[in-house]
């Protein structure tokens, strides 16, 4: 389906949106911009929960557009380019709920969902103040040793969007060599959208499998300006242009999105 059609798969109300990719690599930028473009002048803002292992440029744009009310990630930033401006502002203003996560809590929460259980026990977070910030994370006693363990609740999401190097008509997707947690995200989501640089009749190598995929969207350059190795590298100038704009004016974001679409179509 088209990008515009795929946006409609995001449930109404306070849905949880999972985004694949890692830092500034293979991020679902085309979907994020299509979601932004779907908002008309009279559209009401969403109150989405954003779930992503690491949040980057696409996530900052969605926060700046007022689409995100809650964030679950262990990192939110632009790597060597510095802080994510709209996230930093929203976090400082207290207008964004930040659910404290670490690599361990996200990995164990996903593992619990994959295992079909309500939680996953671990030694993580013990001896820290993190449980005080997350009262939903409980402690349990090991039934065999009596040892106290941290019980991380299962993590699921309503819709996951993953950008791939290529996909076929059945929804099988090749993520290349840097998977992040995209494979796990695909299995814990109620619906999965794969945007791909190229859609072909059949692929031989896949890390995300068609039986969990709800829709496939052909989106050449769909991770730009983040990288999609080996197809294209990170566009640092575009990232800097976004940072310089600060994302403070919605019109500037729309202009930046237009630059994105022009780059994909080969316009000057």
Query: What is the tens place of the pLDDT at every residue in 145-175?
Result: 999 999 999 999 999 999 999 999 999 999 9
Give pLDDT, residue 248. Answer: 53
Residue range 42-52: average pLDDT? 78
Give pLDDT, residue 44. Answer: 54
Given a cut of 60, whether residue 268 has pLDDT beyond it is: no
- pLDDT one-digit tens code per residue, 112-149: 999 999 999 999 999 999 999 999 999 999 999 999 99
Residue 228 domain-assigned?
Answer: yes
Residue 64 domain-assigned?
Answer: yes
Residue 21 domain-assigned?
Answer: yes
Report the Cα 216 to chain-centroid distance in Å.
Answer: 17
**CATH classification of the domain holding 51:** 3.40.1080.10
Q: Interhelix angle for 57-64 vs 29-37, to 10°? A: 10
Give pLDDT, residue 5. Answer: 95
Residue 192 domain-assigned?
Answer: yes
Residue 134 domain-assigned?
Answer: no
pTM of the predicted model as reported, rounded to 2 decimal places: 0.91
Residue 30 domain-assigned?
Answer: yes
Q: How far is CA 268 from CA 189, 224, 264, in A?
A: 38, 16, 10
Domains of the chain: total: 1
- The range of the structural domain enclosing residue 177 comes to 3-101+155-263
Given a cut of 70, whether residue 249 has pLDDT beyond it is: no
Burial of 35-54, coded b for 16+ CB within 10 Å and e otherwise, reads bbeebeeeeeebebbbbbbb
Return the ∠ at Cα 43 (arms to 52 and 5), rounded to 5°: 60
- pLDDT one-digit tens code per residue, 67-99: 999 999 999 999 999 999 999 999 999 999 999
Query: pLDDT tier at 36 (50, 70, 90 boundaries)?
Result: confident
- The shares of helix, strand and coil residues in the chain, as percent rounded to the nearest 5, are 30, 25, 45
Residue 132 domain-assigned?
Answer: no
- Cβ-contact 194, 34 below 8 angstroms: no
Residue 258 domain-assigned?
Answer: yes
């Amino acid at each position: 389906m088209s990008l515009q059609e795929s946006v409609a798969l995001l449930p109404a109300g306070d849905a949880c949106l999972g985004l694949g990719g890692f830092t500034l690599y293979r991020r679902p930028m085309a979907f994020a911009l299509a979601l932004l473009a779907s908002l008309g002048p009279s559209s009401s803002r969403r109150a989405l929960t954003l779930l992503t292992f690491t949040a980057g440029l696409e996530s900052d744009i969605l926060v700046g557009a007022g689409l995100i009310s809650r964030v679950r990630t262990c990192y939110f930033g632009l790597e060597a380019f510095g802080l994510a401006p709209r996230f930093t502002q929203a976090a400082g203003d207290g207008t964004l709920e930040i659910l404290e996560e670490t690599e361990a809590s996200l990995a164990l929460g996903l593992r619990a969902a994959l295992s079909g259980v309500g939680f996953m026990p671990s030694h993580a977070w013990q001896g820290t103040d993190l449980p005080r910030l997350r009262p939903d994370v409980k402690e349990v006693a090991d039934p065999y040793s009596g040892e106290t363990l941290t019980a991380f609740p299962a993590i699921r999401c309503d819709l996951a969007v993953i950008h791939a190097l290529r996909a076929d008509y059945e929804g099988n997707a090749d993520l290349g060599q840097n998977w992040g947690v995209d494979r796990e995200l695909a299995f814990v989501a109620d619906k999965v959208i794969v945007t791909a640089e190229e859609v072909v009749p059949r692929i031989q190598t896949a890390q995300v499998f068609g039986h969990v995929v709800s829709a496939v969207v052909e989106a050449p350059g769909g991770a730009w300006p983040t990288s999609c190795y080996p197809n294209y590298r990170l566009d640092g100038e575009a990232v800097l242009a976004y940072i310089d704009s600060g994302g403070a004016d919605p019109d500037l974001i729309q202009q930046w999105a237009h630059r994105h679409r022009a780059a994909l179509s080969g316009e000057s």
